[in-house]
Amino acid sequence: MKNFSLLSLSLFLLAIFLNSCQQQKMTEDNSARNKAALMKIYEAFETGNTDSLDNYIAEDAMDHALDTMITKKQGLAGIKDLFRAHHTSFPDTKITVNAIGTSGDTLLAYYTFTGTNSGMMMGMPATNKSVKVDGVDIVVFKDGKAVEHWEVTDQLGMMKQLGIMPENEMGMESDKMKMK
């Protein structure tokens, strides 16, 4: 009886260990699939070709960074509009992923965007100036497709590089302000 109990306990622990290994492999497989999907999304952003985005972004995806000055559409349709508009403004866009991290189905990517503003941008004529802008994307995936997105980019830095915002001013005269 003692040998049977020991054997049962050993088989139980082995089953837990194997299940844990399988769960880890599934998580690693999902992370790799999600990273590959994000790279395809970045590729579409660079090229302006949005045809393949249906494979990587859910139809009802929530993009918290969607610019309503560019599109009033939501979900995948709005994201496609945004990508096409960006490509019109910066046709030589290049995204370099500096670091990427995962936590379950959430990816965090730190990237650098470069491009030359050689097309209309939000109603403004092209500046023909190049930019280099750092940013962070947080993307949640479900079943291999992006379902939610947040973005933080150095918009002020980009506006300064484009000459739209003065280099030495930030809209305030902080160095001239006096405490009263």
Do β-strands 130-142 and 106-116 pair in parallel, antiparallel, or remain unpaired?
antiparallel
Residue 171 lies in a domain: no
Range of the domain at 116: 2-162
Summary mean pLDDT of the chain: 84
What are the structure tokens assigned to 3, written together?
């040998």
What is the domain-level CATH number for residue 76? 3.10.450.50
Count structural domains, the chain. Answer: 1
d(C-alpha 161, C-alpha 121), whole Å: 14
In a domain, 173, yes or no: no
* Within a domain: 124: yes
Residue 55 resides in a domain: yes
Considering the domain boundaries, does residue 44 fall inside one?
yes
Average pLDDT over residues 147-158: 94
Residue 168 has pLDDT above 80, yes or no: no
The whole-angstrom separation of Cα 66 and Cα 81 is: 10
Whether residue 176 lies inside any domain: the answer is no
37-64 mean pLDDT: 95
pLDDT > 70 in the chain, percent:
77
Please report whether residue 172 resides in a domain: no
Q: What pLDDT, on a 0 to 100 scale, did the predictor assign at position 164?
A: 87
Cα-only R_g, the chain? 23
pTM for this prediction: 0.77
